Structure 1
């Protein structure tokens, strides 16, 4: 993927992630009376919202890092081994920082 196309896609992703993060961190629109049962479901909803926020923030970080790699002239190179990240991987995940092999190693370490 050429750098211009990658930057456009990453900028679009960044804008969408910023919107999602604002929604997830925003104040509730309406306040309602809560029963004891509601308190339990609110905790679950809060946990779910926090999980979505965590994912969005991590995704945003990956997009910003990809934009930096474009600026540094190393976009499309694996951050671990330096080999090219396959074109198909960048098409599917423009924020990808690693080749498939290094990404698999990274995921096994977790």
Structure 2
């Protein structure tokens, strides 16, 4: 993937993530007449929104790091082994920082 295409995709992702994060951070309107039975579903909705916010924030960080790699000329190289990240991986995940092998090793260590 060429740098211009990558930058366009990453900037589009960043805009969408920022929009999602803004929505997720908004205070949900909680009607005063909610019954005790609704309390459990409200907690579940809050937990789900919090998890989505955390995931969006992590992805936003990855997108910003990818844009920085574009600026420094390191985009498309694995941050661990410096080998090229496969084109297919970058097409699917433009923010990918690692080749498949290094990403798999990282996930196994967790």
Range into which the TM-score falls when normalised by the shorter chain: over 0.9
Distance in 2 (alpha carbons) for counterparts of 1:82 and 1:100: 12
Q: Normalising by the residue count of structure 2, what TM-score does the alignment of the two structures yield? A: 0.96
For 1:63, the equivalent position in structure 2 comes to 63
1:33 is matched with 33
The Cα shift of 1:28 comes to 2.3
Shift of 1:85: 0.2
- SS of the counterpart of 2:37? helix
Partner of 1:90: 90
RMSD (CA atoms): 1.0
Structure 1: runs of 5 or more not aligned: none
Q: Which runs of 4+ in 1 moved over 4 A?
A: none
Any gaps of 5 or more consecutive residues in structure 2? none
Q: Secondary structure at the match of 2:85?
A: coil
